[in-house]
């Protein structure tokens, strides 16, 4: 058998897993591994400028491809900088393997230089973690790490590797395991057939049904099947923030995103429904509003891979634990077998009602005649310039909501955002990960002047690797979402939500070697977008000044039901 | 409602911290905890008591089951079971109290395992409420020190928690 050092084993395991890219930053504890990486070329290492960005880049890569993202960081600060990225991936169930260096085994616990108990620090934000206690275990640990990260409900897995376990002079036999067997980990592979049939019966009887599709549909490769099912049944579909693109955004049956900033029609449809088919969704607080007032007349069918998600916030009447794809497949087969029809008459009336809601309060905003442009206009211009076919990553705040509301995602994995953790600084590094995965694709990062500054150093990484990401900086000179809440709930006292001393983003972009554009007038917007996206091989930073007073609507009213919403600054339901 | 959850888990470093961490992280409470390896040295048996309604306990058990190192678990309070806790208790025993304490120990079927001229050290096993009752019976003023092992439990009859 081949004899390898621990460091070589780590790298070989990455090769055996078919890893294309590893995002990372070197440091003392991982130098042996970096040396082993140097001596091969099948795994490309991407040098970021901050470890947090490494995790978000790997995360963006994973969201766009479905393959696990891989990260390497050194011990201590390198490892702790990766925590936000781990937590981001954990909340959104993204498969990721993070390798962190650790101080020598015999120094652990001695408060050695750059020592942090990374297993302990990361515990609440990883699916699982391993510490290498013997170099011989590296192949098995790596295999398990990838297996756990990618199966069941996916999530990040951490492997903490003390430096001595990677020492170049200690060689051990290497054989990468073909299979993993773990007596304590057996993700569900099939939903319960009886439950699936029961659910189908309920769907056939439904008079006011709705399909509520979450991130699990995207991550679980269930989009096509869900679309088929929705079309067969002619049911309305609403997507969560994480589920956008899981059902085509421009489809007539799509009533838009639901929840806190969901469309009027989506929230009304949910509230008035008699059967909700929740697929790969968590029924979390950004969707349900007050759980006690949640959809009072609805029976809930809940499909999810994670049993702990079912009946956590809202009791499910028919729980189905299983992979979204397999359950939907079986449901479609059962539908064929059933041969029956849903209640077409009732559905006709239901659609009339929904179309009525659409007409009354479809997505809209007021434009300024002479004043500053609106952030919504920027997203619409982006949609037009990219013909709705870009990968769009976002940061967190108002711009994120506008990008979710006004860009129609027709395909899964096109909309990439930190929905669960809400991590500012996610957008640019995530866009890098997407661009690495699809070098020819159009990748836009919709951000704001607040969020972009949380990882702006990655403009340097983009230059190093020639990533032609388009940064759409929706600049309202304020932390817009904070400001909106302060307007609505704190008497307009804008405590620390104003951004003074903004950099000149055009010069900043240029100093990083990119193209910068500043747009202040609506009449320049479309032309500038065309120009930016025509620069196929350059990163373009578009600094677009918008109305700082704009709010995101609709907005659910706290502690109300799903249908209690502000529709503008003055109208409410 | 009080529940006894018994967990069979991998006897590996870090496994215990994950179980404990889960409770603090999700706002659940651990009342008692006892853990030791089983006859199979690769497995540990952890028994904990907690309080909660059915919904909360269901969430707790689901989340525990998701932990990679947890192999199997059971809520013992769902069925007939035997519950034991060991208590070592040091009490003042002087003058007339000596005989009084001795009588209480006999009534509760405990044993005096160490004696000085002023102190008895008593060993007592039983369900938690029996141990509480003993402390009540001898009067709290007598008590110098209490050590309790936390609850261990096992199902009655044929039912076993094993691989």
Q: How far is CA A125 from CA A68, A92, A121, A286, in A?
A: 17, 11, 9, 20
CA of B88: how far to CAs of A317, A403, B95, B106, B113, in Å? Answer: 49, 64, 22, 15, 9
Q: Which domains does chain B have, with CATH numbers?
A: 2-79 (3.30.70.260), 82-152 (3.30.70.1150)
Q: Give the largest CA-CA distance in chain A.
A: 76
Element spanning B119, H or E: strand B119-126
Q: Nearest CA to A86 among A113, A117, A124?
A: A124
pLDDT digit string, tens, across residues A63-110: 999 999 999 999 999 999 999 999 999 999 999 999 999 999 999 999
The pLDDT value given to residue B141: 73
pLDDT-based confidence at residue A1 (cuts at 50, 70, 90): confident
Determine whether the interchain pair B14/A312 forms a contact, defined as Cβ–Cβ distance below 8 Å: no
Per-residue pLDDT averaged across B63-83, rounded? 96
| Residues 6 or more apart whose Cβ sits within 8 Å of residue A29 | A74, A75, A76, A78, A101, A102, A103, A114, A161, A162, A163
Q: Could you please state the CATH topology (level 3) that the domain comprising A375-552 is classified under.
A: Rossmann fold (3.40.50)
The average pLDDT across A430-454 equals 98
pLDDT at A339: 82
Please tell me which residue in A114, A228, A457, A464 is annotated as part of the active site: A114
Instruction: Judge whether A449 counts as a catalytic residue.
Output: no
Segment A271-286 mean pLDDT: 96
- Residue A113 annotated to the active site: yes
Where along chain A do the CATH 3.40.50.1220 domains lie? Answer: 193-361
Q: Give the model's pLDDT for residue A362.
A: 75
As a residue count, chain B comes to 163
CB contacts of A182 in chain B (<8 Å) are 68
- Return residue ranges of chain A for CATH 3.40.50.970: 2-174, 375-552
pLDDT for res B139: 85
**Catalytically annotated residue among A113, A224, A337, A366:** A113
Report pLDDT digits (tens) over A140-167. Answer: 999 999 999 999 999 999 999 999 999 9
Is B31 at the interface with chain A, CB within 8 A? no
pLDDT of residue B142 exceeding 90, the answer is: no
How confident is the model over A373-393, as a mean pLDDT?
97
What's the whole-number mean pLDDT along residues A432-440? 98
Percent of chain A with pLDDT over 70: 100
Residue B140 has pLDDT above 80, yes or no: no
Q: Which of A206, A283, A217, A280 is nearest to A248 (CA)?
A: A217
Catalytic residue at A257? no
| Confidence class for position A500, pLDDT limits 50, 70, 90 | confident
CA atoms of A303 and A196, how far apart (whole Å): 9
pLDDT tens digit sequence for B58-71 = 999 999 999 999 99
Phi-psi region of A15 (alpha: psi -120 to 50; beta: other; left: phi over 0): alpha
Contacts of A148 in chain B (CB under 8 A): 68
Give CA–CA dist A269/A255, Å, rounded. 8
| pTM, full prediction | 0.95
Among B62, B65, B67, the strongest candidate for a mutation testing the A interface, having the largest count of A CBs within 10 A, is: B62
State residue A68's pLDDT score.
Answer: 98
Q: What pLDDT score does B122 carry?
A: 97
Q: Rounded mean pLDDT of A28-54?
A: 98
Q: Is B13 on the interface with A (CB under 8 A)?
A: yes
Output the pLDDT for position A130: 98
CB-based contact A131 B70, cutoff 8 Å:
no
Judge whether A28 and A380 are in contact, CB under 8 Å: no
Whether residue B100 lies within 8 A of chain A, CB to CB, comes out as no
Q: Which CATH architecture has domain A193-361?
A: 3-Layer(aba) Sandwich (3.40)
CATH fold of A2-174: Rossmann fold (3.40.50)
Answer whether B25 sits within 8 Å of A124, measured CB to CB: yes
**% residues pLDDT > 90 (chain A):** 96
**Nearest by Cα to A318 from A476, A198, A483, A155:** A198
The confidence score (pLDDT) of residue A473 equals 98
- Segment among A308-312, A359-363, A552-556, A559-563 with least mean pLDDT: A359-363
**Record: contact A131-B14, CB cut-off 8 A:** yes
Given a cut of 90, whether residue A216 has pLDDT beyond it is: yes
Please return the burial class of A187, using the count of CB atoms within 10 Å of its CB with bins 0-12, 13-18 and 19+. middle
**CB-CB under 8 Å, B25 with A182:** no
Per-residue pLDDT tens over the stretch A332-378: 999 999 888 899 999 999 999 999 999 987 788 999 888 899 999 99
Q: What pLDDT, in 10s, does the model give residues A227-270?
A: 999 999 999 999 999 999 999 999 999 999 999 999 999 999 99
Average pLDDT (A116-122) is 97
In sequence order, the 6+-apart residues with CB closer than 8 A to the CB of A266 are A238, A255, A256, A257, A258, A259
> Does pLDDT of B150 surpass 80?
yes
Q: Please give the C-alpha separations between residue A25 and each of A69, A77, A403, in angstroms, as whole numbers.
A: 15, 11, 31
How are beta strands A443-448 and A391-394 bridged, if at all? parallel
């Amino acid at each position: 058998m081949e004899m390898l050092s621990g460091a070589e084993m780590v790298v070989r395991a990455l090769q055996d897993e078919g890893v294309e890219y590893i995002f990372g930053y070197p440091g003392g504890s991982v130098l042996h591994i970096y040396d082993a990486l140097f001596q091969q070329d099948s795994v490309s290492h991407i040098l970021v400028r901050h470890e947090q960005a490494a995790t978000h880049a790997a995360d963006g890569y994973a969201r766009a491809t479905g393959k696990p993202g891989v990260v390497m960081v050194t011990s201590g600060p390198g490892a702790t900088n990766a925590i936000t990225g781990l937590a981001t991936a954990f909340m959104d169930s993204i498969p990721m393997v993070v390798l962190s260096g650790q101080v020598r085994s015999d120094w652990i616990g001695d408060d050695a230089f750059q020592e942090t108990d990374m297993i302990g620090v990361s515990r609440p934000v990883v699916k699982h973690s391993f510490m290498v206690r013997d170099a011989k275990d590296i192949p098995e640990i790596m295999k398990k790490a990838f297996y756990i990260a990618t199966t069941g409900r996916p999530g990040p897995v951490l492997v903490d590797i003390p430096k001595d376990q990677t020492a170049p002079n200690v060689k051990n036999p290497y054989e990468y395991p073909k299979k993993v067997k773990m007596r304590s980990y057996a993700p569900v592979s099939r939903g319960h057939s009886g439950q699936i049939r029961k659910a189908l019966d309920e769907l056939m009887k439904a008079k006011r049904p709705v399909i509520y599709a979450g991130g699990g549909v995207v991550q679980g490769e269930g989009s096509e099947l869900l679309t088929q099912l929705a079309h067969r049944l002619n049911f309305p579909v609403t997507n969560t923030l994480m589920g956008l693109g899981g059902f085509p955004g421009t489809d007539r049956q799509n009533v838009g995103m639901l929840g806190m900033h969901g469309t009027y029609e989506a929230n009304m449809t949910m509230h008035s429904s008699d059967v909700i088919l929740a697929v790969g969704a968590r029924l979390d607080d950004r969707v349900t509003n007050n759980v006690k007032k949640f959809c009072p007349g609805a029976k809930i069918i809940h499909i999810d891979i994670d049993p702990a998600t079912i009946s956590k916030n809202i009791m499910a009447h028919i729980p189905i634990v299983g992979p979204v794809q397999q359950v939907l497949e079986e449901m479609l087969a059962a539908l064929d077998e059933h041969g029956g029809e849903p209640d077409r008459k009732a559905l006709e009336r239901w659609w009339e009602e929904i179309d009525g809601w659409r007409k009354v309060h479809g997505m809209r905003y007021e434009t300024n005649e002479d004043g500053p442009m609106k952030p919504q206009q920027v997203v619409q211009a982006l949609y037009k310039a990219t013909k709705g076919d870009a990968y769009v990553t976002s940061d967190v705040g108002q711009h994120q909501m506008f990008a979710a509301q006004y860009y129609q995602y027709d395909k899964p994995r096109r909309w990439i955002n930190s929905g669960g953790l809400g991590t500012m600084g996610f957008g640019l590094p995530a866009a890098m990960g997407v661009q690495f995965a699809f070098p020819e694709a159009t990748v836009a990062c919709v951000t704001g002047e607040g969020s972009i500054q949380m990882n702006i150093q990655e403009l340097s990484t983009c230059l190093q690797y020639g990533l032609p990401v388009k940064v759409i900086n929706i600049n309202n000179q304020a932390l817009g979402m904070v400001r909106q809440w302060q307007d609505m709930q704190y008497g307009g006292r804008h405590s620390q939500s104003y951004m003074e001393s903004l950099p000149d983003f055009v010069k900043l972009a240029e100093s990083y070697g990119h193209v910068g554009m500043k747009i202040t007038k609506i009449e320049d917007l479309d032309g500038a977008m065309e120009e930016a996206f025509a620069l196929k091989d350059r990163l373009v930073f578009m600094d677009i000044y918008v109305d700082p007073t704009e709010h995101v609507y609709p907005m659910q009213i706290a502690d109300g039901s799903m249908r209690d919403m502000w529709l503008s600054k003055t109208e409410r339901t | 409602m009080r529940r006894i959850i018994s967990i069979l888990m991998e006897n590996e470093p870090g496994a215990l911290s994950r179980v404990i961490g889960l409770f603090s992280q999700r706002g659940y409470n651990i009342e008692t905890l006892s853990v030791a390896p089983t006859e199979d040295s690769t497995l540990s048996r952890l028994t904990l008591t907690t309080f909660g309604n059915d919904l909360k306990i269901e969430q707790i058990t689901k989340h525990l089951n998701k932990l990679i190192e947890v192999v199997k678990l059971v809520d013992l309070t769902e069925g007939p079971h035997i519950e034991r806790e060991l208590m070592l208790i040091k009490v003042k025993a002087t003058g007339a109290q000596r005989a009084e304490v001795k009588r209480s120990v006999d009534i509760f079927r405990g044993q005096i395992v160490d004696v000085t001229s002023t102190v008895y050290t008593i060993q007592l096993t039983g369900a938690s409420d029996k141990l509480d009752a003993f402390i009540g019976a001898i009067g709290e003023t007598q008590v110098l020190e209490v050590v309790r092992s936390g609850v261990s439990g096992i199902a009655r009859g044929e039912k076993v928690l094993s691989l």
